[in-house]
Amino acid sequence: MKKLCCALLLVAGAASAQTRPDSIRLARQIAQWYDLRFTDAEADSLLESLQEYGETYRSMHVPLPPNSLPYPFAFTPGAFGTTVPQGQKTINWVLPDQQLPANRVELAFYSIPQLASLLRSKKISSLELTQFFMARLRKWGDTLQSVITLTEERALEEARQADAEIRAGKWRGPLHGIPYGLKDLFAVKGYKTTWGSAPYKEQVLEEDAFAYTQLRKAGAVLCAKLSLGALAYNNKWFGGETKNPWDLTQGSSGSSAGSAASVVAGLLPFTVGTETLGSIVSPSARCGATGLRPTFGTISRSGAMALCWSLDKIGPICRSAEDDAIVYYYLKGTDGRDPGATDHAFNFDPKGDVKKLRVAYAANYFRRLPAGAPEWKVLDTYRALGVEPVAVQFPDSAAYRYDMVGLILAAESAAAFDGLTRSDRDSLVERQDKDFWPNIFRGARFIPAVEYINANRWRYELGRQVQSFMKDWDVVITPSFAGRQLSITNLTGHPALCMPIGFNKEGRPQSITLLGNLYDEAAILQAAKAYQERTGYHRQHPALFRQ
């Protein structure tokens, strides 16, 4: 921090230097901050260029680009040596012969196939189901501080339409008539899109995000826009701090805070979140949800808040892997408005045999765990299923030698929110400590473009190493926050699934993460589904919300 302050003073001094020798001296000092060594002659030669660049910068600031303007040079994980699979097959989702429960509260925790069966057989209407979940959102939303906006009018309209179509025999699939919630960084016409932060709490974006459009096509019913940590960081937003449904004294983690908390508490059957660096995995782990972070670029981000163009990903947060698979199938795709998005075949088999998967575990991470840690029992469960996880060394510090993700995230997010910084509205953001967005955005102004580009070049090498490692395995099991894997796999774009594996002595959920190959979400979902059918941790629900 002291070095950054020195750099700021040098920049300020250069602007007010009265003589050319002063300017040369300051230019050389600033260059040293960036690990460069210039002679007096070299520094003298670049002074005019610095002035010209400054004029160009000022010209670019009138007007400033909006957050919605994409970055055209799209990151693609396909560059790491894989191809995007094509040839989508029809998935035959298995629906049980479901009956209505004697206690209607149990509907709050029914799976998507269970609810879909009730709706398709007309044992319950989408309108009834929507009103049921709207009542739960009103009852418990403030307790969890997980709801920003109820979309009740839209929900009732969509539910009535779903009922009419189902009565007419026009069933769209297992999401038809199912209520859900969106993280409040997805635009929906006619409703506020607050991004969880005070400077934007009255913002209305007159467009529909791709994620909403896809779910609308599937017949799902939007009931709420859910809380996120301010500008997609942690769990504190302008309305409070989202809570862990298992322990209301603890935050839910984030940034997909309301998405994870709401689905675990049975306020909604499924939700949609996003991840840049842990925002699906972390709240899923904390709250005991099953969250899928898909391969980068498999769901268009048009209409969603941009934080970091080369890291932002969209994914479902549900209570089970099977529900994740259903929601992901209907979410995936592109609309041509996101340069980083591509469509791919997702051929998940609901009846797939887990014994056919090549499964490994990150032994270098597991060795750090105590003997009785629940993660070890996960391996035992897979052995009982007929799968023998192989010990492997996940590429960690040798492949990831410095904070590559921090540099890339800071640079891109500062560009995405340039207008916030320059308007001084960053003072309205909920947190003002040195580790939060306002200061991160300011500090990122001193990241040279050359260093940002070179960090991404090293990212390419990282991606090649991880892909070379992953090609021998369908699933790699890892503790959710061990080592640098969360940073590494977000940088490389590999998919991950986080699921509950039990509880600690305080009664809080414990988790594990399954890593997969690029564009192969099906394998980790199949492995997770088998584990959940064997153990049932995903079917345990916080007592407070079972009423």
302, part of any domain:
yes
Q: Is residue 241 within 8 Å of residue 261, measured between CB atoms?
A: no
Q: Give the H/E segment covering residue 142.
A: helix 126-144
DSSP 8-state assignment for residue 304: B
On whether residue 9 sits in a domain, the answer given is no
Domain presence at residue 344:
yes
Judge whether 94 and 512 are in contact, CB under 8 Å: no
* 82 three-state secondary structure: coil
Structure tokens at 371: 């003997």
In a domain, 326, yes or no: yes
CA distance 134 to 129: 9
**Distances, alpha carbon 470 to alpha carbons 80, 82, 405, 464, 495, in Å:** 11, 11, 20, 10, 11
Q: Taking a C-beta distance cutoff of 8 angstroms, is the pair 344, 519 a contact?
A: yes
pLDDT tens, N- to C-terminus, the chain (547 residues): 334 344 433 443 444 446 899 999 999 998 998 999 999 999 999 999 988 999 999 999 999 999 999 999 999 998 898 999 999 999 999 999 999 999 999 999 999 999 999 999 999 999 999 999 999 999 999 999 999 999 999 999 999 999 999 999 999 999 999 999 999 999 999 999 999 999 999 999 999 999 999 999 999 999 999 999 999 999 999 999 999 999 999 999 999 999 999 999 999 999 999 999 999 999 999 999 999 999 999 999 999 999 999 999 999 999 999 999 999 999 999 999 999 999 999 999 999 999 999 999 999 999 999 999 999 999 999 999 999 999 999 999 889 999 999 999 999 999 999 999 999 999 999 999 999 999 999 999 999 999 999 999 999 999 999 999 999 999 999 999 999 999 999 999 999 999 999 999 999 999 999 999 999 999 999 999 999 999 999 999 999 999 9
pLDDT value of residue 397: 86
| CA 414 to chain CA mean position, Å | 19
Rounded Cα distance, 390 and 392, in Å: 6
Q: Before 255, cis peptide (omega within 30)?
A: yes
Domain-located, residue 49? no
Give SS3 for 110.
Answer: coil
Give the domain range for residue 244: 114-399+451-545
Cis omega before residue 63 (within 30°)? yes
**∠ CA 304-309-311, rounded to 5°:** 100
Taking the C-alpha atoms of residue 466 and residue 217, their distance in angstroms, rounded to an integer, is 36
Pair of tokens at residue 146:
């997980």
Domain annotation covers residue 78: no
Q: Got the DSSP string for 170-208?
A: ----TTTT-EEEEETTB--TTSB--TTSGGGTT-B--S-
**pLDDT tens string 241-265:** 999 999 999 999 999 999 999 999 9
pLDDT recorded at residue 8: 38
Spell out the residues 6+ positions from residue 122 whose beta carbon is closer than 8 angstroms to its own.
Answer: 166, 167
Q: Would you say 299 and 341 are in contact if contact means Cβ atoms under 8 Å apart?
A: yes
SS3 content of the chain, % helix, strand, coil (to 5): 45, 15, 40
pLDDT digits (tens, 9 = 90+) for 357-407: 999 999 999 999 999 999 999 999 999 999 999 999 999 988 999 999 999
Q: Is residue 430 part of a domain?
A: no
pLDDT at 3: 42
Q: Per the structure, how many domains does the chain have? A: 1
Answer yes or no: is 509 within a domain.
yes
CATH number at residue 522: 3.90.1300.10
